[in-house]
Chain A
Amino acid sequence: MAILTMYPDDERLEGANRTAFNLYVVTAVALFVLMMLLGLAMRMSQATWINVAPDLFYRLLSMHGAGMVGTTALATTAVMWFFLRKYVQLHLWALVANYVLFLLGALCIIVAVFAGGYGALWTFLYPLPVQSVGLWSPNAAALFMLGYLLIGIGMLLFYLDAAAAIIRVHGNLGRALGLQWLFGGTIDPDHPKAVVAGTMVIIANSLGILAGAVVLVMSLINVFYPQMALNALLAKTLIYWFGHMYINATIYMGVIAVYELLPRYSGKPYPISRPFIWSWAVSCLFVIVVFPHHLFMDYVAPHWLLVTGQVVSWGAGFPVFLVTAYGALTNIYRSNMRWTMPSRLLILSMFGWAAGIVPAIVDGTIRINQVMHNTQWVPGHFHFYLLLGVLPMALALMFHVIGRRATAPPNSGTDRIGFPVYLVGGLIFALAFLDAGRLSVARRMAEHLPAWTFTDKIGSIGAILVVLGMLYFAIRIAVGLLRPPAPASGGPRDRAANTAG
């Protein structure tokens, strides 16, 4: 009979490890609240409840996009580090370097947006950053891109350290992914899922960050030497190759929390399997080549590339539905599930991911994209799986960690109110976006037609609830992290952990 320990000793956070983890978490939850407030202001402005001038709106939109993507990466990097360090020897300097470079990069972006007036969005789509019609200077655009470069370098350092650590233990990245078991052989039951997922992220997102670095450097050269013009389609391709993989990597880092924590709360083992290994191998390939779905409306792009984008977008649903979400549901079915904040958030994250990719896959169809591209259908689907999928993955670990430090598992009365507020708000918010997509409401517009404001108002109500829920989570987590660590194993919480065979 295997024993599923709720708080194993090798996950204890002490000394510098604890400080680093706390810095990541507190920074992330604080930034989430701030970025959500920016989002709320924009939705309320579209709803005509408040007035945000267009120039400020587009600056807020740039900050919100860059800030949310970066913060989600920060939070899920903490998830990956927290679990991966149990299986391979990670260096704390890499984690800290990533944090410091993130802060420096964030500072550059904040100055570029709020002091320099940068408003060319998080996608810095060439040549808009250098064609602002006087709204911001080339220096502001350059500072924004420099911020990205710093954040990317930090992430790459973390990945390189993790890759080296994984190779030291498993020989190479292919074996860490479990490719030796794709077609046969006895799978090592102790091969950690965190290593499989972490390896996939390292491979895919390192490529993405390198693509981003190439286009950022090219764009920076163009800022200072405008005569060195770029090819707009090539620049767009590289930007979306980078952007798509960067944000998708957050899902794959975050889901490690589900693999690690869910069986502890359900009391049922969640073993590695051949479908799991297939799923991650396929996902690794798919996430690298799926980006052409961002180019569907660029008709001059090679049509084989666009077909690839559609076929892979649809195919990407297989591993999510058949392995990850289905596996999680199988794990909790007829289990002795303990419904506390971490377990609620874990299941929510699986639902948010699985349900959220439905409209994403639908939009990954060329024929549908012709009427849905750049409508609010797009923020509808990505807010669905980020707000109700990825964020709950990271929040689940955060609540789990504060549970170790508290006198009781995180399941207070206010938790039981905060969770549905966040859930209902998130659903209203995302579905309002999707319905607006049905009505052809354009995304990324400061001024909306009168016929569009109804869904803006509904979305704003959802956003208010989400902000309230997240504000509560942020305070609860920050306060919980400040508690001193609980004694080593053998305490009452460990004895209360589920056991199963």
Chain B
Amino acid sequence: MIPQNVIWTIALIGMGLVALGFIHVIVQAGKPADDAATRKAAHTSNVLRRWLFAALLITFVGGTYATLRPFPIPLQYAPLDAQQVVDVVGQQWSWQITPATVHTGGVVEFRVTSKDVNHGFAIYAPDGRIAIQTQAMPGYTNKLLYTFTQPGTYKVMCLEYCGLGHAPMTSEIRVVAAKGD
């Protein structure tokens, strides 16, 4: 299951529901109601609004809990004790990644910073989709945890505009199968 496809589906369903609501009302917009029908429509509208509120509230509470537990960003000011550590430094317009080879299965801690301007450290999986990202900001080190499950060559791209050489600012991370995999 590719996360981006799930996200796209959720958004399409949401936008589609909005569109259906508008189409339904627009079709009825040129058919004026008499007083009794207007009062009935107003009542129905209020009832529907309460149901919509309840649905949104349930989505809000459930979605918030589901997406924030566990918190998707690791602690930044405590040791993370990851099995592998990779230091990443961005600089107009290249990446310095040490080491550039990691293995599958174990958690990798990326320590990402920049020597000059803001950069975006994005790891693209072999299928061309973003696996994970964080910012490379001068004066700060963002710690990112990620566990690779598939061996291969992962492309690193800059996702924060950093000047003329922004697009060609790429690199690679080699992910090899762990012993026993």
Chain A residues near B (Cβ < 8 Å): 54-55, 58, 119-121, 125, 127-128, 131-133, 135, 231-233, 236, 266-267, 297-300, 303, 306-307, 310-311, 314-315, 317-318, 321-322, 325-326, 329-330, 332-337, 339, 347, 350-351, 354-355, 358-359, 362, 365-368, 370-375, 434-435, 437-440, 442-448, 451
Contacts and interface: CB of A to CB of B under 8 A. Distances in A.
A459 B38 CA distance: 43
A322 B56 contact: yes
A442 B22 contact: no
Contacts of A55: 164
Given A233-B140, A438-B7, A371 B116 contact: no
Given A236-B118, A297-B133, A373-B159, A322 B72 contact: no
B137 A121 contact: no
Nearest to A448: B167
A132 B142 contact: no
Given A232-B118, A233-B139, A322-B52, A354 B18 contact: yes
Nearest to B161: A444
Contacts of A374: 120, 122, 133, 159-160
Contacts of A321: 52, 56
19 contacts: A231-B139, A232-B138, A233-B139, A299-B74, A303-B73, A314-B64, A322-B53, A326-B45, A329-B21, A332-B29, A335-B29, A351-B19, A358-B18, A371-B130, A374-B160, A375-B159, A435-B8, A440-B129, A442-B159
A232 B140 contact: yes
B28 A333 contact: yes
Nearest to A325: B18
Interface stretch (B9-17, B95-103, B171-179): B9-17
The 3 closest A-B pairs by CB, nearest first: A358-B14, A334-B33, A337-B29
Contact of B4 (A318, A366, A438): A438
Contacts of A334: 28-29, 31-33, 37-38, 41
A354 B24 CA distance: 15
Contacts of A318: 53, 56, 60
B144 interface: yes
B117 interface: yes
Contact of A326 (B7, B52, B118, B160): B52
A455 B65 CA distance: 34
A326 B42 CA distance: 12
Given A54-B164, A127-B116, A439 B4 contact: yes
Contacts of B30: 336-337, 339
Contacts of A303: 71, 73
Nearest to A447: B167
A322 B130 contact: no
Contact of A365 (B67, B71, B116, B139): B67
B178 to A, nearest CB: 24
Contacts of A438: 4-5, 7-8
B166 A444 contact: yes
B78 interface: no
Nearest to B53: A322
A233 B60 contact: no
Nearest to B2: A438
Given A133-B92, A300-B142, A358-B14, A307 B68 contact: yes
Contact of B130 (A300, A367, A375): A375
A232 B32 CA distance: 58
A347 B22 contact: yes
B164 A135 contact: yes
- Which of B30, B120, B142, B167 gathers the greatest number of chain A CB atoms within 10 Å? B167
A371 B3 contact: yes
A167 B123 CA distance: 53
Nearest to A128: B117
- Which of B19, B22, B53, B168 gathers the greatest number of chain A CB atoms within 10 Å? B22
A434 B14 CA distance: 14
B124 A440 contact: yes
B72 A366 contact: yes
Contact of B7 (A236, A366, A368): A368
Given A299-B143, A335-B32, A442-B159, A322 B68 contact: no
Contact of A131 (B19, B74, B139, B163): B163
Nearest to A123: B161
Given A128-B118, A362-B7, A442 B157 contact: yes
B92 A125 contact: no
A374 B118 CA distance: 13
Interface in B127-167: 128-135, 137-144, 157, 159-167
A225 B15 CA distance: 49
A281 to B, nearest CB: 17
Nearest to A125: B118
Contact of A370 (B133, B138, B166): B133
Contact of A446 (B5, B21, B120, B167): B167
Given A351-B19, A367-B72, 10 more contacts: A127-B138, A128-B163, A334-B31, A334-B32, A335-B29, A350-B22, A365-B63, A371-B129, A373-B159, A434-B8
Contact of B133 (A54, A236, A373): A373
B1 interface: no
Nearest to B19: A355
